[in-house]
Protein backbone atom coordinates (compact mmCIF):
# COMPACT_ATOMS: atom_id res chain seq x y z
CA UNK A 1 0.00 0.00 0.00
CA UNK A 2 1.46 3.34 -1.03
CA UNK A 3 -0.11 6.31 0.74
CA UNK A 4 -0.61 9.40 -1.35
CA UNK A 5 -0.55 13.10 -0.52
CA UNK A 6 -3.27 15.58 -1.28
CA UNK A 7 -2.31 18.13 -3.90
CA UNK A 8 -4.62 20.82 -2.50
CA UNK A 9 -4.44 21.93 1.12
CA UNK A 10 -5.80 24.99 2.91
CA UNK A 11 -3.62 26.77 5.42
CA UNK A 12 -2.42 30.04 6.80
CA UNK A 13 1.02 30.83 5.43
CA UNK A 14 3.72 32.00 7.77
CA UNK A 15 3.82 35.76 8.02
CA UNK A 16 0.04 36.13 7.43
CA UNK A 17 -0.95 35.00 10.89
CA UNK A 18 -2.28 38.32 12.07
CA UNK A 19 -3.88 39.41 8.84
CA UNK A 20 -6.47 36.65 8.60
CA UNK A 21 -5.40 36.01 5.00
CA UNK A 22 -5.91 32.63 3.38
CA UNK A 23 -3.51 30.53 1.38
CA UNK A 24 -3.73 27.36 -0.68
CA UNK A 25 -0.21 26.27 0.31
CA UNK A 26 0.69 24.13 3.34
CA UNK A 27 1.53 26.11 6.43
CA UNK A 28 5.15 27.05 5.87
CA UNK A 29 8.00 26.86 8.36
CA UNK A 30 8.82 30.13 10.10
CA UNK A 31 11.79 32.14 8.85
CA UNK A 32 15.26 30.89 9.91
CA UNK A 33 15.47 33.39 12.76
CA UNK A 34 12.26 32.02 14.24
CA UNK A 35 13.45 28.43 13.86
CA UNK A 36 16.51 29.31 15.90
CA UNK A 37 14.41 30.57 18.77
CA UNK A 38 13.95 28.30 21.74
CA UNK A 39 10.65 26.46 21.47
CA UNK A 40 8.94 26.96 24.82
CA UNK A 41 6.79 23.85 24.83
CA UNK A 42 8.47 20.53 25.56
CA UNK A 43 7.27 17.12 26.70
CA UNK A 44 6.89 14.52 27.86
CA UNK A 45 3.17 15.16 28.07
CA UNK A 46 0.26 12.81 27.37
CA UNK A 47 -3.45 13.37 27.91
CA UNK A 48 -5.83 10.55 27.01
CA UNK A 49 -9.06 8.89 28.09
CA UNK A 50 -7.53 5.94 29.97
CA UNK A 51 -4.54 5.87 32.34
CA UNK A 52 -3.19 2.68 30.74
CA UNK A 53 -3.03 4.44 27.39
CA UNK A 54 -1.35 7.49 28.99
CA UNK A 55 1.29 5.26 30.55
CA UNK A 56 1.92 3.47 27.24
CA UNK A 57 2.54 6.82 25.56
CA UNK A 58 4.82 8.06 28.31
CA UNK A 59 6.80 4.83 28.19
CA UNK A 60 7.55 5.38 24.50
CA UNK A 61 8.51 9.01 25.17
CA UNK A 62 10.89 7.91 27.94
CA UNK A 63 12.62 5.69 25.38
CA UNK A 64 13.27 8.73 23.20
CA UNK A 65 10.30 8.24 20.94
CA UNK A 66 8.59 10.98 18.99
CA UNK A 67 5.06 12.25 19.54
CA UNK A 68 3.90 10.09 16.62
CA UNK A 69 5.66 7.03 18.05
CA UNK A 70 3.77 7.55 21.30
CA UNK A 71 0.50 8.14 19.42
CA UNK A 72 0.79 4.68 17.85
CA UNK A 73 1.20 3.14 21.31
CA UNK A 74 -1.65 5.18 22.81
CA UNK A 75 -4.04 4.18 20.03
CA UNK A 76 -3.12 0.51 20.33
CA UNK A 77 -3.95 0.53 24.04
CA UNK A 78 -7.11 2.63 23.70
CA UNK A 79 -8.45 0.12 21.17
CA UNK A 80 -8.13 -2.56 23.85
CA UNK A 81 -9.19 -0.79 27.04
CA UNK A 82 -11.70 1.70 25.56
CA UNK A 83 -13.14 -0.27 22.58
CA UNK A 84 -16.44 1.56 22.84
CA UNK A 85 -14.71 4.65 21.50
CA UNK A 86 -11.90 3.84 19.09
CA UNK A 87 -9.77 1.05 17.73
CA UNK A 88 -7.88 -0.47 14.83
CA UNK A 89 -11.16 -1.01 13.03
CA UNK A 90 -11.96 2.71 12.89
CA UNK A 91 -10.62 6.00 11.60
CA UNK A 92 -9.02 9.22 12.84
CA UNK A 93 -7.70 12.68 12.11
CA UNK A 94 -4.24 13.60 13.39
CA UNK A 95 -2.72 17.09 13.65
CA UNK A 96 1.08 17.22 13.86
CA UNK A 97 3.48 20.02 14.82
CA UNK A 98 7.12 19.64 13.79
CA UNK A 99 9.28 21.56 16.26
CA UNK A 100 12.34 21.62 14.01
CA UNK A 101 10.58 23.37 11.12
CA UNK A 102 7.46 24.89 12.67
CA UNK A 103 5.40 23.01 10.07
CA UNK A 104 1.83 22.01 10.90
CA UNK A 105 0.05 19.31 8.94
CA UNK A 106 -2.92 16.99 9.23
CA UNK A 107 -3.34 13.32 8.43
CA UNK A 108 -6.73 12.07 7.26
CA UNK A 109 -7.47 8.50 8.29
CA UNK A 110 -11.22 8.74 7.70
CA UNK A 111 -12.85 5.53 6.48
CA UNK A 112 -14.01 5.15 2.87
CA UNK A 113 -17.16 3.63 1.40
CA UNK A 114 -16.69 0.38 -0.57
CA UNK A 115 -16.61 0.37 -4.36
CA UNK A 116 -20.09 -1.14 -4.45
CA UNK A 117 -21.69 1.62 -2.32
CA UNK A 118 -24.58 3.60 -3.82
CA UNK A 119 -26.44 6.71 -2.60
CA UNK A 120 -29.25 4.39 -1.47
CA UNK A 121 -26.92 2.30 0.72
CA UNK A 122 -29.24 2.61 3.72
CA UNK A 123 -32.52 2.25 1.83
CA UNK A 124 -34.76 -0.79 2.05
CA UNK A 125 -38.09 -1.18 0.27
CA UNK A 126 -37.73 2.37 -1.00
CA UNK A 127 -37.33 3.95 2.43
CA UNK A 128 -34.35 4.76 4.70
CA UNK A 129 -33.58 2.14 7.33
CA UNK A 130 -34.12 2.88 10.99
CA UNK A 131 -30.84 4.21 12.31
CA UNK A 132 -29.99 1.30 14.63
CA UNK A 133 -30.89 -1.25 11.96
CA UNK A 134 -28.33 0.47 9.74
CA UNK A 135 -25.70 0.61 12.48
CA UNK A 136 -26.01 -3.10 13.27
CA UNK A 137 -25.86 -4.09 9.62
CA UNK A 138 -22.81 -4.99 7.60
CA UNK A 139 -23.60 -2.01 5.37
CA UNK A 140 -22.38 0.44 8.02
CA UNK A 141 -18.68 -0.49 7.85
CA UNK A 142 -16.16 1.40 5.75
CA UNK A 143 -12.55 0.54 5.01
CA UNK A 144 -10.69 1.33 8.27
CA UNK A 145 -8.16 4.14 8.09
CA UNK A 146 -6.45 4.66 11.43
CA UNK A 147 -3.67 2.09 11.00
CA UNK A 148 -2.72 3.35 7.52
CA UNK A 149 -2.83 6.94 8.76
CA UNK A 150 -0.53 6.16 11.69
CA UNK A 151 1.76 4.28 9.33
CA UNK A 152 2.05 7.34 7.08
CA UNK A 153 2.61 9.69 10.03
CA UNK A 154 5.22 7.33 11.47
CA UNK A 155 7.03 7.18 8.13
CA UNK A 156 7.23 10.99 8.21
CA UNK A 157 7.87 11.62 11.92
CA UNK A 158 8.75 8.38 13.70
CA UNK A 159 12.05 7.94 15.54
CA UNK A 160 11.69 4.48 17.08
CA UNK A 161 11.11 1.29 15.13
CA UNK A 162 7.43 0.62 14.37
CA UNK A 163 7.90 -2.95 15.59
CA UNK A 164 8.42 -1.86 19.20
CA UNK A 165 5.44 0.48 19.52
CA UNK A 166 2.86 -2.22 20.23
CA UNK A 167 4.66 -3.93 23.13
CA UNK A 168 2.55 -2.45 25.95
CA UNK A 169 -0.76 -3.04 24.19
CA UNK A 170 0.24 -6.58 23.26
CA UNK A 171 1.21 -7.32 26.87
CA UNK A 172 -2.10 -5.98 28.20
CA UNK A 173 -4.06 -7.99 25.63
CA UNK A 174 -2.10 -11.19 26.34
CA UNK A 175 -1.98 -10.97 30.13
CA UNK A 176 -5.26 -9.12 30.63
CA UNK A 177 -6.28 -5.74 32.01
CA UNK A 178 -8.76 -4.65 34.66
CA UNK A 179 -12.08 -3.61 33.13
CA UNK A 180 -12.85 0.02 33.95
CA UNK A 181 -16.20 1.13 35.41
CA UNK A 182 -17.21 2.98 32.22
CA UNK A 183 -16.43 0.03 29.95
CA UNK A 184 -18.20 -2.37 32.30
CA UNK A 185 -21.33 -0.23 32.44
CA UNK A 186 -21.55 0.18 28.67
CA UNK A 187 -20.85 -3.47 27.94
CA UNK A 188 -23.27 -4.73 30.58
CA UNK A 189 -26.16 -2.83 29.01
CA UNK A 190 -26.37 -5.52 26.32
CA UNK A 191 -28.35 -3.08 24.24
CA UNK A 192 -27.62 -2.10 20.66
CA UNK A 193 -24.03 -2.86 19.69
CA UNK A 194 -23.30 -4.19 23.19
CA UNK A 195 -26.02 -6.80 22.57
CA UNK A 196 -24.61 -8.38 19.42
CA UNK A 197 -23.40 -11.97 19.61
CA UNK A 198 -19.82 -10.79 19.24
CA UNK A 199 -20.04 -8.27 22.07
CA UNK A 200 -21.96 -10.62 24.38
CA UNK A 201 -19.34 -13.33 23.91
CA UNK A 202 -16.46 -10.92 24.49
CA UNK A 203 -17.90 -9.17 27.54
CA UNK A 204 -19.25 -12.21 29.42
CA UNK A 205 -17.86 -14.13 32.34
CA UNK A 206 -17.58 -17.94 32.04
CA UNK A 207 -21.07 -18.28 33.57
CA UNK A 208 -22.55 -15.95 30.94
CA UNK A 209 -23.05 -12.98 33.27
CA UNK A 210 -21.74 -9.57 32.17
CA UNK A 211 -18.21 -8.53 33.07
CA UNK A 212 -17.98 -6.22 36.06
CA UNK A 213 -15.58 -3.39 36.82
CA UNK A 214 -12.31 -4.85 38.06
CA UNK A 215 -12.69 -8.15 36.20
CA UNK A 216 -9.67 -9.26 34.22
CA UNK A 217 -10.20 -9.25 30.46
CA UNK A 218 -7.83 -11.10 28.12
CA UNK A 219 -7.94 -10.65 24.34
CA UNK A 220 -5.64 -13.20 22.72
CA UNK A 221 -6.90 -12.36 19.22
CA UNK A 222 -6.01 -8.70 19.67
CA UNK A 223 -2.55 -9.69 20.93
CA UNK A 224 -2.08 -11.79 17.78
CA UNK A 225 -3.15 -8.89 15.56
CA UNK A 226 -0.70 -6.54 17.29
CA UNK A 227 2.15 -9.02 16.84
CA UNK A 228 1.37 -9.19 13.12
CA UNK A 229 1.26 -5.40 12.87
CA UNK A 230 4.56 -5.08 14.74
CA UNK A 231 6.24 -7.58 12.42
CA UNK A 232 4.65 -6.58 9.13
CA UNK A 233 4.01 -2.85 9.47
CA UNK A 234 0.75 -1.12 8.60
CA UNK A 235 0.69 -3.19 5.40
CA UNK A 236 -0.13 -6.26 7.49
CA UNK A 237 -3.50 -4.78 8.39
CA UNK A 238 -4.58 -4.21 4.79
CA UNK A 239 -3.40 -7.45 3.17
CA UNK A 240 -3.93 -10.96 4.46
CA UNK A 241 -5.67 -12.40 7.49
CA UNK A 242 -6.82 -9.20 9.19
CA UNK A 243 -8.45 -7.72 6.08
CA UNK A 244 -10.05 -11.05 5.21
CA UNK A 245 -11.54 -11.35 8.71
CA UNK A 246 -12.97 -7.82 8.53
CA UNK A 247 -14.54 -8.50 5.13
CA UNK A 248 -15.96 -11.81 6.35
CA UNK A 249 -17.65 -10.35 9.44
CA UNK A 250 -19.09 -7.47 7.39
CA UNK A 251 -20.62 -10.04 5.01
CA UNK A 252 -22.56 -11.78 7.79
CA UNK A 253 -26.25 -11.31 8.54
CA UNK A 254 -28.17 -9.19 9.33
CA UNK A 255 -28.05 -7.06 6.18
CA UNK A 256 -24.60 -8.03 4.87
CA UNK A 257 -22.35 -5.25 3.67
CA UNK A 258 -20.39 -4.94 0.45
CA UNK A 259 -16.96 -4.11 1.92
CA UNK A 260 -14.39 -6.50 0.48
CA UNK A 261 -10.76 -7.34 1.19
CA UNK A 262 -9.98 -5.50 -2.05
CA UNK A 263 -11.67 -2.35 -0.72
CA UNK A 264 -9.56 -2.58 2.41
CA UNK A 265 -6.34 -3.13 0.45
CA UNK A 266 -7.15 -0.09 -1.70
CA UNK A 267 -7.46 2.29 1.28
CA UNK A 268 -5.14 5.30 1.25
CA UNK A 269 -4.61 7.90 4.01
CA UNK A 270 -4.15 11.51 2.97
CA UNK A 271 -1.80 14.19 4.24
CA UNK A 272 -3.86 17.35 3.81
CA UNK A 273 -1.78 20.12 5.31
CA UNK A 274 -3.46 22.33 7.90
CA UNK A 275 -6.22 24.92 8.11
CA UNK A 276 -5.06 27.73 10.43
CA UNK A 277 -6.48 31.10 11.40
CA UNK A 278 -5.53 33.76 13.97
CA UNK A 279 -7.68 34.23 17.06
CA UNK A 280 -7.68 37.35 19.24
CA UNK A 281 -4.53 38.60 17.45
CA UNK A 282 -2.35 36.53 19.77
CA UNK A 283 -3.12 32.89 19.02
CA UNK A 284 -3.21 30.79 15.87
CA UNK A 285 -5.71 27.91 15.85
CA UNK A 286 -4.92 25.00 13.50
CA UNK A 287 -7.35 22.22 12.56
CA UNK A 288 -7.69 19.60 9.80
CA UNK A 289 -9.57 20.66 6.65
CA UNK A 290 -12.70 18.88 5.33
CA UNK A 291 -14.03 16.27 5.52
CA UNK A 292 -13.07 16.96 9.15
CA UNK A 293 -15.05 19.53 11.12
CA UNK A 294 -12.26 22.03 11.76
CA UNK A 295 -13.56 24.72 9.42
CA UNK A 296 -16.73 24.95 11.52
CA UNK A 297 -14.73 25.49 14.72
CA UNK A 298 -12.72 28.22 13.02
CA UNK A 299 -15.89 29.87 11.74
CA UNK A 300 -17.40 29.91 15.22
CA UNK A 301 -14.22 31.41 16.69
CA UNK A 302 -14.10 34.01 13.92
CA UNK A 303 -17.70 34.99 14.70
CA UNK A 304 -16.81 35.09 18.40
CA UNK A 305 -14.46 37.99 17.68
CA UNK A 306 -17.58 39.98 16.70
CA UNK A 307 -19.44 39.04 19.92
CA UNK A 308 -18.39 41.40 22.74
CA UNK A 309 -20.82 39.67 25.13
CA UNK A 310 -18.43 36.72 25.30
CA UNK A 311 -16.06 38.86 27.37
CA UNK A 312 -18.41 38.47 30.36
CA UNK A 313 -16.92 35.12 31.30
CA UNK A 314 -18.15 31.76 32.49
CA UNK A 315 -20.68 33.08 35.00
CA UNK A 316 -22.30 35.59 32.65
CA UNK A 317 -25.59 34.50 31.01
CA UNK A 318 -25.01 36.98 28.18
CA UNK A 319 -21.72 35.26 27.36
CA UNK A 320 -23.38 31.83 27.25
CA UNK A 321 -26.25 33.23 25.17
CA UNK A 322 -23.81 34.64 22.63
CA UNK A 323 -21.96 31.32 22.54
CA UNK A 324 -25.21 29.44 21.90
CA UNK A 325 -26.43 31.73 19.13
CA UNK A 326 -23.11 31.60 17.30
CA UNK A 327 -23.27 27.82 17.43
CA UNK A 328 -26.67 27.83 15.74
CA UNK A 329 -25.26 29.81 12.83
CA UNK A 330 -22.15 27.65 12.60
CA UNK A 331 -24.08 24.36 12.58
CA UNK A 332 -26.47 25.61 9.90
CA UNK A 333 -23.55 26.39 7.58
CA UNK A 334 -21.59 23.26 8.41
CA UNK A 335 -24.57 20.98 7.72
CA UNK A 336 -25.24 22.68 4.41
CA UNK A 337 -21.77 22.86 2.91
CA UNK A 338 -19.23 20.45 4.40
CA UNK A 339 -18.49 17.06 2.84
CA UNK A 340 -15.66 15.12 1.23
CA UNK A 341 -13.79 17.70 -0.91
CA UNK A 342 -12.97 15.02 -3.47
CA UNK A 343 -16.70 14.81 -4.26
CA UNK A 344 -18.20 18.23 -3.42
CA UNK A 345 -16.91 21.78 -3.54
CA UNK A 346 -16.55 22.88 0.08
CA UNK A 347 -16.37 26.71 0.27
CA UNK A 348 -13.75 26.79 3.02
CA UNK A 349 -12.43 30.20 2.04
CA UNK A 350 -15.96 31.58 1.83
CA UNK A 351 -17.02 30.22 5.21
CA UNK A 352 -14.04 32.01 6.77
CA UNK A 353 -14.25 35.16 4.66
CA UNK A 354 -14.04 38.16 7.06
CA UNK A 355 -17.03 39.98 5.57
CA UNK A 356 -19.15 36.83 5.54
CA UNK A 357 -18.18 35.98 9.12
CA UNK A 358 -19.04 39.49 10.31
CA UNK A 359 -22.43 39.37 8.56
CA UNK A 360 -23.25 36.00 10.09
CA UNK A 361 -22.19 37.13 13.58
CA UNK A 362 -24.44 40.18 13.28
CA UNK A 363 -27.45 37.84 13.07
CA UNK A 364 -26.75 36.23 16.44
CA UNK A 365 -28.26 38.80 18.85
CA UNK A 366 -31.68 38.73 17.18
CA UNK A 367 -31.77 35.05 16.34
CA UNK A 368 -34.84 33.09 17.45
CA UNK A 369 -35.30 29.45 16.60
CA UNK A 370 -33.20 27.49 14.19
CA UNK A 371 -30.71 29.41 12.06
CA UNK A 372 -30.76 29.20 8.28
CA UNK A 373 -27.54 28.63 6.36
CA UNK A 374 -25.95 31.63 4.73
CA UNK A 375 -24.47 32.00 1.27
CA UNK A 376 -20.69 32.26 1.66
CA UNK A 377 -18.55 33.31 -1.31
CA UNK A 378 -18.22 30.30 -3.55
CA UNK A 379 -20.96 28.39 -1.75
CA UNK A 380 -23.52 26.32 -3.61
CA UNK A 381 -26.54 24.84 -1.84
CA UNK A 382 -26.00 21.10 -1.60
CA UNK A 383 -28.18 20.21 1.40
CA UNK A 384 -29.56 20.19 4.03
CA UNK A 385 -29.12 16.49 4.50
CA UNK A 386 -30.36 13.74 6.80
CA UNK A 387 -27.13 12.92 8.61
CA UNK A 388 -27.11 11.44 12.10
CA UNK A 389 -23.78 11.38 13.94
CA UNK A 390 -23.83 9.51 17.24
CA UNK A 391 -20.82 9.23 19.50
CA UNK A 392 -18.16 6.60 20.02
CA UNK A 393 -14.94 8.55 19.85
CA UNK A 394 -11.82 9.48 21.84
CA UNK A 395 -9.20 12.23 21.80
CA UNK A 396 -5.61 12.37 22.99
CA UNK A 397 -2.65 14.74 22.97
CA UNK A 398 1.06 13.86 22.96
CA UNK A 399 4.11 16.15 23.18
CA UNK A 400 7.64 14.74 23.04
CA UNK A 401 10.91 16.00 24.50
CA UNK A 402 11.79 17.89 21.29
CA UNK A 403 8.50 19.80 21.28
CA UNK A 404 6.84 17.82 18.49
CA UNK A 405 3.12 17.44 19.15
CA UNK A 406 0.15 15.31 18.14
CA UNK A 407 -3.52 16.15 18.63
CA UNK A 408 -5.59 13.18 17.46
CA UNK A 409 -9.30 12.39 17.45
CA UNK A 410 -10.09 8.74 16.79
CA UNK A 411 -13.32 6.79 16.47
CA UNK A 412 -15.25 3.64 15.61
CA UNK A 413 -18.31 5.91 15.24
CA UNK A 414 -21.08 4.63 17.55
CA UNK A 415 -20.34 2.89 20.85
CA UNK A 416 -18.57 -0.37 19.93
CA UNK A 417 -18.89 0.54 16.25
CA UNK A 418 -21.18 -1.86 14.43
CA UNK A 419 -21.00 -4.35 17.32
CA UNK A 420 -19.16 -6.82 15.08
CA UNK A 421 -15.65 -8.02 15.91
CA UNK A 422 -12.81 -9.20 13.69
CA UNK A 423 -9.23 -10.06 14.62
CA UNK A 424 -9.87 -9.06 18.23
CA UNK A 425 -11.34 -5.58 17.68
CA UNK A 426 -14.68 -3.94 16.85
CA UNK A 427 -15.20 -2.74 13.30
CA UNK A 428 -16.61 0.69 12.61
CA UNK A 429 -20.10 1.78 11.59
CA UNK A 430 -18.65 4.92 10.05
CA UNK A 431 -20.78 4.88 6.91
CA UNK A 432 -23.81 5.84 9.01
CA UNK A 433 -22.11 9.25 9.16
CA UNK A 434 -23.34 9.73 5.60
CA UNK A 435 -26.72 11.26 4.92
CA UNK A 436 -29.28 8.44 4.75
CA UNK A 437 -31.20 10.50 2.20
CA UNK A 438 -29.08 11.43 -0.84
CA UNK A 439 -31.37 14.27 -1.95
CA UNK A 440 -32.87 17.26 -0.22
CA UNK A 441 -36.57 18.02 -0.45
CA UNK A 442 -36.25 20.02 -3.65
CA UNK A 443 -34.31 17.23 -5.33
CA UNK A 444 -30.83 18.71 -5.02
CA UNK A 445 -27.91 16.53 -3.88
CA UNK A 446 -26.83 16.36 -0.24
CA UNK A 447 -23.15 17.24 0.25
CA UNK A 448 -22.76 14.23 2.51
CA UNK A 449 -24.58 11.66 0.36
CA UNK A 450 -23.07 8.17 0.07
CA UNK A 451 -20.78 7.44 -2.89
CA UNK A 452 -18.25 4.73 -3.69
CA UNK A 453 -14.83 5.60 -2.26
CA UNK A 454 -16.17 8.67 -0.46
CA UNK A 455 -15.26 9.69 3.08
CA UNK A 456 -18.18 10.66 5.34
CA UNK A 457 -18.29 14.16 6.76
CA UNK A 458 -16.91 14.29 10.28
CA UNK A 459 -17.17 16.58 13.27
CA UNK A 460 -13.75 15.47 14.50
CA UNK A 461 -11.55 18.55 14.78
CA UNK A 462 -8.31 18.02 16.73
CA UNK A 463 -6.77 21.40 17.54
CA UNK A 464 -3.23 22.72 17.77
CA UNK A 465 -2.68 26.15 19.38
CA UNK A 466 0.29 28.29 18.31
CA UNK A 467 1.51 31.71 19.31
CA UNK A 468 1.63 34.62 16.86
CA UNK A 469 5.11 33.55 15.76
CA UNK A 470 3.92 30.06 14.89
CA UNK A 471 5.40 28.31 17.93
CA UNK A 472 3.44 25.45 19.48
CA UNK A 473 1.79 26.23 22.83
CA UNK A 474 -0.99 23.71 23.28
CA UNK A 475 -3.54 21.24 21.96
CA UNK A 476 -7.06 20.11 22.73
CA UNK A 477 -9.89 18.04 21.27
CA UNK A 478 -12.90 15.95 22.15
CA UNK A 479 -15.27 13.19 21.14
CA UNK A 480 -19.01 13.85 21.06
CA UNK A 481 -20.51 13.34 17.59
CA UNK A 482 -21.80 16.63 16.21
CA UNK A 483 -21.27 18.17 19.65
CA UNK A 484 -17.49 17.95 19.16
CA UNK A 485 -17.60 21.36 17.50
CA UNK A 486 -19.26 22.97 20.52
CA UNK A 487 -17.08 21.12 23.02
CA UNK A 488 -13.84 22.14 21.32
CA UNK A 489 -14.92 25.76 20.93
CA UNK A 490 -15.94 25.87 24.60
CA UNK A 491 -12.47 24.74 25.66
CA UNK A 492 -10.69 27.27 23.42
CA UNK A 493 -12.93 30.13 24.56
CA UNK A 494 -12.55 29.06 28.19
CA UNK A 495 -8.76 29.12 28.00
CA UNK A 496 -8.27 32.17 25.76
CA UNK A 497 -11.29 34.43 26.35
CA UNK A 498 -12.10 33.56 29.94
CA UNK A 499 -8.54 33.06 31.20
CA UNK A 500 -9.17 29.63 32.69
CA UNK A 501 -6.73 26.80 33.18
CA UNK A 502 -7.12 23.95 30.70
CA UNK A 503 -8.69 21.76 33.38
CA UNK A 504 -11.11 24.49 34.42
CA UNK A 505 -12.10 25.10 30.79
CA UNK A 506 -12.72 21.39 30.29
CA UNK A 507 -14.74 21.27 33.52
CA UNK A 508 -17.12 23.98 32.30
CA UNK A 509 -20.64 22.72 31.64
CA UNK A 510 -21.34 21.88 28.02
CA UNK A 511 -23.95 23.72 25.99
CA UNK A 512 -24.78 22.61 22.46
CA UNK A 513 -27.08 24.77 20.32
CA UNK A 514 -28.12 23.15 17.07
CA UNK A 515 -31.39 23.79 15.27
CA UNK A 516 -33.99 25.13 17.69
CA UNK A 517 -32.86 23.29 20.84
CA UNK A 518 -30.23 23.71 23.53
CA UNK A 519 -28.66 20.54 24.91
CA UNK A 520 -26.56 20.97 28.01
CA UNK A 521 -25.05 19.50 31.15
CA UNK A 522 -28.06 21.01 32.88
CA UNK A 523 -27.08 19.92 36.39
CA UNK A 524 -23.72 21.67 36.05
CA UNK A 525 -25.33 25.07 35.45
CA UNK A 526 -26.38 26.83 38.65
CA UNK A 527 -30.13 27.38 39.12
CA UNK A 528 -29.51 31.12 38.89
CA UNK A 529 -27.65 30.81 35.58
CA UNK A 530 -30.28 28.45 34.14
CA UNK A 531 -33.01 30.90 35.05
CA UNK A 532 -31.11 33.82 33.54
CA UNK A 533 -30.56 31.86 30.33
CA UNK A 534 -34.24 30.95 30.16
CA UNK A 535 -35.12 34.64 30.38
CA UNK A 536 -32.99 35.10 27.27
CA UNK A 537 -34.73 32.29 25.41
CA UNK A 538 -32.05 29.68 26.13
CA UNK A 539 -34.06 26.89 27.78
CA UNK A 540 -31.67 24.09 28.62
CA UNK A 541 -32.53 20.42 28.27
CA UNK A 542 -30.30 17.42 28.99
CA UNK A 543 -27.77 16.81 26.24
CA UNK A 544 -28.78 13.83 24.10
CA UNK A 545 -25.49 13.42 22.22
CA UNK A 546 -22.32 11.75 23.45
CA UNK A 547 -20.80 13.63 26.33
CA UNK A 548 -17.46 15.32 25.99
CA UNK A 549 -14.11 13.68 26.52
CA UNK A 550 -11.92 16.77 26.23
CA UNK A 551 -8.20 16.21 26.67
CA UNK A 552 -5.49 18.78 26.19
CA UNK A 553 -2.83 20.98 27.59
CA UNK A 554 -1.38 24.51 27.45
CA UNK A 555 2.27 25.37 28.06
CA UNK A 556 2.34 28.09 30.74
CA UNK A 557 5.16 29.42 32.89
CA UNK A 558 7.54 26.69 31.80
CA UNK A 559 5.25 23.77 32.55
CA UNK A 560 2.18 21.90 31.33
CA UNK A 561 -1.29 23.04 32.34
CA UNK A 562 -3.01 19.80 31.40
CA UNK A 563 -6.61 18.72 31.52
CA UNK A 564 -8.52 15.43 31.35
CA UNK A 565 -12.31 15.38 31.18
CA UNK A 566 -13.86 14.04 34.39
CA UNK A 567 -16.76 12.80 32.26
CA UNK A 568 -14.36 10.04 31.13
CA UNK A 569 -11.67 8.07 32.94
CA UNK A 570 -8.52 9.66 31.59
CA UNK A 571 -5.48 11.53 32.82
CA UNK A 572 -3.07 14.28 31.76
CA UNK A 573 0.48 13.51 32.88
CA UNK A 574 4.11 14.44 32.37
CA UNK A 575 5.57 11.48 34.24
Residues designated as active site: 393
β-bridge partners, 466: 284, 472
Phi and psi, residue 232, nearest 5°: -105, 0
Q: Quote the CA–CA distance of 451 and 438 in Å, as a whole number.
A: 9
* Cα dist from 73 to 53, 170, 213, 533, 550, whole Å: 8, 10, 24, 44, 20
Classify strands 517-520 and 541-542 as parallel, antiparallel or unpaired.
Answer: parallel
* Long-range CB contacts for residues 122-130, cutoff 8 Å, separation at least 24: 122/432, 122/434, 122/436, 122/450, 123/436, 124/255, 128/386, 128/436, 128/437, 129/255, 129/436
Phi and psi, residue 104, nearest 5°: -115, 135
Contact 144, 428 (CB under 8 A): yes
E-assigned strand segments in 418-528? 421-422, 425-426, 463-467, 472-477, 511-514, 517-520
Contact 292, 461 (CB under 8 A): yes
Contacts of 512 (CB under 8 A, 6+ apart): 327, 482, 483, 486, 487, 518, 519, 520, 543, 545
Contacts of 545 (CB under 8 A, 6+ apart): 390, 391, 480, 481, 482, 483, 512, 519
Q: Quote the CA–CA distance of 77 and 49 in Å, as a whole number.
A: 11
Closest CA to 432 of 107, 146, 186, 133: 133
Contacts of 404 (CB under 8 A, 6+ apart): 66, 67, 68, 96, 97, 98, 99, 100, 157
β-bridge partners, 467: 283
β-bridge partners, 123: 128
Radius of gyration of the chain (CA): 22
Q: How many residues does the chain have?
A: 575
E-assigned strand segments in 220-274? 270-273
Amino acid sequence: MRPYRSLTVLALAAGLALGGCASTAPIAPPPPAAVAQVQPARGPFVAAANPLAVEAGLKVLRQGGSAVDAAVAVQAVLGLVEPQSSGLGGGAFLMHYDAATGRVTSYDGRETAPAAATPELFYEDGRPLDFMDAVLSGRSTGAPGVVAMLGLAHRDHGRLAWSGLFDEAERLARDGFDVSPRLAALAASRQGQAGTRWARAYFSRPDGSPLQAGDRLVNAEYARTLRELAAGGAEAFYHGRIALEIAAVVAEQPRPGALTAEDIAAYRPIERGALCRPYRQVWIVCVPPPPAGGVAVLQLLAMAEHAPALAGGAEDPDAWTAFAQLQRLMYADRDRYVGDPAFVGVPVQGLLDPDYVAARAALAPGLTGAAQPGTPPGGQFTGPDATLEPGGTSHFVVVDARGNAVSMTTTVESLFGSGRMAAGFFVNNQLTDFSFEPLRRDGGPAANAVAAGKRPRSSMSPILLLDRDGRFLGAVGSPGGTSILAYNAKAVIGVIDWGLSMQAAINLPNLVAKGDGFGADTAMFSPELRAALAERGIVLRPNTSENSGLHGGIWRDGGWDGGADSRREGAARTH
